[in-house]
Every structure is written in C-alpha cells, then in structure tokens.
Amino acid sequence: LIADRKDPAAFAAAIEGAGVEWDLAVDCIGYKPEDARQDLEVLWPRVGHLVFISTDFVFDPLKRAFPQPFSNPHFLTGEGYGPGKRACEEVLLASDTPMRWTVLRPCHIYGPGSLLGCLPEHARDAKLIERMRVGESLRLVGGGHFLQQPIFARDLAELALSAHGCDLADRAIYCAAGPDIIESRRYYEIIADLLGVELRVEEVSVAQTRVEHPEWASFLCHRIYDLSPLRLAGLKVPNTPIAAGQREHVESLLEE
C-alpha cells in the first residue's frame, strides 16, 4: 500500500481499499496529535493492535530520575519533536477505542538504514565516518559523558511485534532501550575501533549549548532506563550488545 498520511482522504481510501484485516500496525511516523487521531479513526476495526513509536524525548530533561521510569510525569511542552510525540500519546490515553494499543518510547535508535551519531554536534551525521577517517576532532557536548542506552533497530522491531497478543501491553506505555548503558563517548569509540582510527574529541560546553541550541535540550541529560517493566509484561526485551549492533551498523554503511 502506498499513501501519504498527510492526505487524510487518500490514506483512508488506501487502508479501506485493501480489504484486509491486520493483527498489528506499527506507526513509526506519527509526530502530531492529528496523526494519532488518524490511527484511531482509520485503523479500527481493520487493525487489532496499534503500536505507536514515541520517543524518550517526551520527558523534561531537567526532571529526570535515574533510571527514568515510564511513569515519570514531567514532560516537555510547547513545540517540537518531543512535545509532539507526547501530544500523540495523550490522544491515545484519552481515547475509548476498542483497538488495543501500546506506546514505546525508544532511546537513541541505531542500526542499518540510519545515520550514525547519538549526540550533538554529531547526531545523525552523514559524514561521521569520513570525519573520523581523516582525524577530525568530534565536537561532543559535555565531552560525550552523558549516559545513553541505545536500542538496535531490529530489537525495537521485535519488541513491537511482541506486543501483539500481550494482554498486559494493552493501553500501556513503556520505555524502550538496549541492554548496555554507556557514555555517549563510548558510542563513538566503538565506531573508531571498527574503523581502525583514533577517536579525537573536543568538548563543547553544556551551559553554552543550552543557551545557543535550546532544541537540543533533550540530548543534554542521562538517558537510562530499567527494562524490567518489559520483562514483567512478557514482552521481548532488547538484547543486542552495543558493540555487536554497531559493527553491523558500520559495516552496512561501508558497503554502500
């Protein structure tokens, strides 16, 4: 099926015209509340279970706990990526749809098909490998010492699929992260090791970055989570070690 979700009529016609009932739908491209409303209005009753991919950027970075529980009530407000995802969550929470739904809030997602880089000024940097190969110093906020728990894309997909048929995951929200807690700097060290080069880092002031780039606020904190809620619900717990996932990710880019 091919349709532009920004064209509501065409989107609805494509789904209805397929004449298919699906066990599960995963929305990876919902950014505004109207996207979540579209899911509720168009997918039911053709879909039994919706998994909505949110983000850990919904949280207020200055009011986090460590590890951060999914139930932390402090969220970003206003405009932007994180607040938009939270607005989508609120649409689902306020709905009385018979369709089952589950929200996943992933940390940094990595893996083949995406760009490398988990922290400004080199987040999703298309030239990261090239920069590292020529010995360029990477400008990392706070020297790359913020903790993260990156999740491999395949692990996130398997987690989403495991929500189907899981009664405890109905109308539930979970933080989704990988098994390894690392400094952001370590993420780049692994890449350097795979490339056989030395990692050079230039520390960028956190305070200065907060002032000059308020849009980066959600990066400027530790992003670590307890995975036991996933395990207790019977969901597939992410288990790809960061080193193994990064190897696959880097090799996929070198083959392009």
Distance (Å, rounded) from C-alpha 104 to C-alpha 175?
6
Domain ranges of the chain: 8-254
> Is 21 in a helix, a strand, or coil?
coil
SS3 assignment, position 100: strand
What is residue 163's three-state secondary structure? coil
Q: Considering only CA atoms, give the Rg of the chain.
A: 19
pTM equals 0.97
Q: 182: helix, coil or strand?
A: strand
Tokens representing 5? 């979700």
DSSP code, position 137: P
What pLDDT was estimated at residue 256?
84
Burial of 24 (0-12, 13-18, 19+ CB in 10 A): middle
Q: Are 61 and 218 in contact (CB under 8 A)?
A: yes
Query: Closest by alpha carbon to 194, among 125, 133, 127?
Result: 133
**Residue 49: per-residue pLDDT:** 99
Residues 137, 143, 147, 148, Cα dihedral to 10°? -30
- Give the phi and the psi of residue 76 in degrees, each rounded to 5: -70, 150
- The pLDDT of residue 156: 99
Cis before residue 214, ω within 30 degrees of 0? no
Kindly give the parts of the chain with pLDDT less than 50: none
User: With contact defined as beta carbons under 8 Å apart, do 71 and 77 qualify?
Assistant: no
Architecture of domain 8-254: 3-Layer(aba) Sandwich (3.40)
* Token digits of residue 134: 């020529």
Q: Tell me the backbone φ, ψ of residue 202, rounded to 5 degrees.
A: -110, 125
Q: How far apart are CA 57 and CA 201, in angstroms?
A: 25
What is the three-class DSSP state of 113? coil
**According to the model, what pLDDT value does residue 162 have?**
99
Q: What is the pLDDT of residue 109?
A: 99
